[in-house]
């Protein structure tokens, strides 16, 4: 089932609640892949009715970013969502979701929004937080599923829900990867053959960092330098950052003593990619 207006969505959700069915919400920016399918399938196992949103949110793109070229294929998304178990796809236009006038209200999660991706893409997470809050408002009580590939986004959404006391349970789902380890992303289709081959280096760099920590190395600066060396020797992409942070606050660490997250971001000529991996010290 496809709906394009907020009114249709609200009316459908009312009917679902009247039947005392639970709702699983999977927010996406479309151009679905196996990573999205894994979110939908898990939602189907845990909820009675699965609602997928398909909306490329302009508020989270900067003036020189790839909003206009971001891949879109609604017919394809419908087939993938349905095959994975979705009951409804909500695909509004920009005017439908935000209106024709300038959006004057913005949601910001302080601290978390200014680190890492927030520093590289100012305003990005304000756009994410704003659209997510709007979707949560339209749907109401639900379980919402987000992939760990966008780990910083996941932490921001968790904080947003907690701080605003929203009736939403956030479920983080492990990153789905290609056979060579590359994290699945809608932007992967834009990579050239050469870029795609080099892109697997991101995961290799993360694995190196994790292995060094498991071997007993705890000095973050030393670990990061080794990861940077591996990246530089395997790809011509530009490294935006590779860092080891606290898994909850995302603050940079000097020593790895407990749970941590290793994050990486790199720019290829055709696309910018991000990835991350968790590591814990026994």
Q: pLDDT tens for residues 64-76?
A: 898 999 999 999 9
Residue 33 known to be catalytic: no
Options 33, 36, 82, 124, the catalytic residue? 36
Q: Which domain holds residue 245?
A: 186-276
Domain boundary among 139, 173, 207: 173
Residue 228 lies in a domain: yes
Per-residue three-class SS string for the chain: CEECCHHHHHHHHHHHHHCCCCEEEEEECCCCCHHHHHHHHHHHHHCCEEEEEECCCHHHCCCCCCCCCCCCCHHHHHHHHHHHCCCEEECCCHHHHHCCCCCCCCCCCCCHHHCCHHHHCCCHHHHHHHHHHHHHHHHCCEEEEEEHHHHHHHHHHHHHHHHCCCCEEEEEECCCECCCCCECCHHHHHCCHHHHHHHCHHHHHHHHHHHHHHCCCCEHHHHHHHHHHHHHHHCCCEEEEEEEEECCCCCECCECCCCEEEEEEEECCCCEEEEEEEECCC
Nearest residue to 119 via CA among 11, 263, 269 = 263
| CA 163 vs CA 44, 108, 141, 189, 214: distances in Å | 27, 11, 16, 36, 35
Residue 29 lies in a domain: yes
Average pLDDT, integer, range 142-166: 98
Q: Confidence band (pLDDT; 50, 70, 90) for 215? A: very high
Indicate whether 14 and 98 sit together in one domain.
Answer: yes
Determine the Cα–Cα distance for residues 132 and 148; give it in Å rounded to an integer.
16
Indicate whether 12 and 128 sit together in one domain.
Answer: yes
> Per the confidence metrics, is the pTM higher than 0.75?
yes
Q: What is the CATH number of the domain that holds 263?
A: 3.30.1300.10
| Average pLDDT value over all residues in the chain | 96
**pLDDT surpassing 80 at residue 282:** no
**pLDDT surpassing 80 at residue 250:** yes
pLDDT of residue 64: 85
Indicate whether 115 and 210 sit together in one domain.
Answer: no
**pLDDT surpassing 90 at residue 221:** yes
Indicate whether 260 and 154 sit together in one domain.
Answer: no
Nearest residue to 133 via CA among 203, 60, 61 = 60
Q: pLDDT tens for residues 61-120?
A: 998 898 999 999 999 999 999 999 999 999 999 999 999 999 999 999 999 999 999 999
Indicate whether 123 and 220 sit together in one domain.
Answer: no
Domain boundary among 173, 198, 230: 173
Indicate whether 80 and 203 sit together in one domain.
Answer: no
Count up the domains in the chain and report the number: 2
**pLDDT surpassing 80 at residue 253:** yes
Indicate whether 12 and 140 sit together in one domain.
Answer: yes
Q: pLDDT tens for residues 12-69?
A: 999 999 999 999 999 999 999 999 999 999 999 999 999 999 999 999 999 889 899 9
Beta bridge partners of 255: 219
Domain boundary among 173, 208, 239: 173
Q: What is the CATH number of the domain that holds 84?
A: 3.40.50.620
pLDDT of residue 106: 96
Q: β-strands 168-173, 142-147: how paired?
A: parallel
Residue 179 lies in a domain: no
Indicate whether 122 and 23 sit together in one domain.
Answer: yes
Degrees to nearest 5, angle at CA 58 with 142 and 269: 115
Indicate whether 149 and 16 sit together in one domain.
Answer: yes
Average pLDDT, integer, range 204-208: 98
Beta bridge partners of 204: none
pLDDT of residue 281: 82
Indicate whether 38 and 105 sit together in one domain.
Answer: yes
């Amino acid at each position: 089932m496809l709906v394009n207006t907020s009114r249709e969505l609200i009316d459908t959700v009312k009917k679902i609640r009247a039947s005392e069915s639970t709702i699983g919400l999977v927010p996406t920016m479309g151009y679905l892949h196996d990573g999205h399918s894994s979110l939908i399938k898990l939602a189907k196992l845990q909820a009675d009715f699965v609602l997928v949103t398909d909306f490329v949110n302009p508020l989270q793109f900067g003036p020189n970013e790839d909003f206009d070229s971001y891949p879109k294929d609604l017919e394809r998304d419908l087939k993938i969502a349905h095959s994975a178990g979705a009951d409804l796809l909500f695909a509004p236009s920009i005017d439908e979701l935000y209106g024709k006038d300038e959006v004057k209200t913005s949601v910001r999660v302080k601290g978390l929004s200014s680190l890492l991706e927030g520093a590289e893409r100012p305003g990005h997470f304000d756009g994410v937080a704003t659209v997510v809050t709007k979707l949560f408002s339209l749907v109401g009580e639900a379980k919402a599923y987000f992939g760990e590939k966008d780990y910083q986004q996941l932490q921001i959404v968790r904080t947003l829900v907690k701080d605003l006391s929203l009736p939403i349970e956030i479920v983080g789902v492990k990153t789905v990867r290609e056979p060579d380890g590359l994290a699945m992303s809608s932007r992967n289709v834009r990579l050239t053959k050469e870029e795609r081959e080099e892109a697997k280096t991101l995961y290799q760099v993360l694995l190196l960092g994790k292995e060094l920590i498991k071997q007993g190395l705890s000095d973050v600066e030393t670990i990061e330098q080794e990861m940077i060396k591996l990246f530089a020797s395997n790809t011509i992409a530009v490294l935006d950052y590779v860092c080891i942070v606290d898994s909850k606050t995302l603050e940079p660490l000097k020593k790895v003593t407990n749970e941590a997250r290793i994050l990486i971001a790199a720019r290829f000529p055709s696309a910018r990619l991000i990835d991350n991996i968790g590591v814990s010290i026994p």
